[in-house]
Amino acid sequence: MKKAIVKKAIVKKKRILPIVSYPRKPPLCRLHGKPIRPSRWRNGSRTSGCAGCEKKIIMPPDKKRLCKEHKIPIYRRRWWDGYRNKGCPLCFELPPPEERLCKRHGRPISPSAWLMGLHSRGCSKCRNSAPGMKAAQARYKARKRLRAKRSKFSSRWR
């Protein structure tokens, strides 16, 4: 009778690598030009995340968020996009409606959306066709009708 030879599997310790390893040459923040911190890199930040960015987490009030040229508060959206010295309504010129067309619908983008930095989408059709917009409009109209009905009803009994 032959004896069955049982081989033991040799298990090597596996080295667990992070999902995305931090590059040897640290990538630079697009806003400040300083190296992005490894912890921010692992969290998925590829364009910002240096030490200077971490100081700017809280939005300053309007008085401290002034455009250097016009002394008007910078738009909040522009501030979060990285504009720190300019970004008021006067800094950006508004092209005519024929030049600021929505890429999806071919309609003119609204002036307020263009000034906020939405240069590819922002027409009325985009805004109204957003998911849940119809339901939100219906809820608003129902509340408005109910308020009108209540005020009409309460005015009868006065």
Q: For residue 35, what are the β-bridge partners?
A: 28
**What are the C-alpha distances in Å from 31 to residues 54, 81, 99?**
12, 9, 28
Chain-centroid distance of CA 13 in Å reads: 42
Q: What is the model's pLDDT at position 62?
A: 87
Name which of 101, 76, 106, 102 is nearest 88 in CA terms. 76
pLDDT mean over 31-53: 78
pLDDT tens digits, residue range 58-88? 778 889 889 999 999 988 888 877 788 888 8
Q: What is the model's pLDDT at position 141?
A: 93
pLDDT tens digits, residue range 106-139? 999 988 888 878 888 888 888 777 778 788 888 9
Residue ranges per structural domain of the chain: 19-57, 59-92, 93-144
Q: What is the model's pLDDT at position 12?
A: 57
Q: Which residues contact 41 (CB under 8 A, 6 or more apart)?
A: 20, 22, 27, 49
Name which of 131, 118, 93, 123 is nearest 106 in CA terms. 123
What SS3 state is found at 100?
Answer: coil
State the SS3 of 5-22: CCCCCCCCCCCCCCCCCC
pLDDT tens digits, residue range 3-39? 556 555 555 565 555 455 667 777 888 888 888 888 7
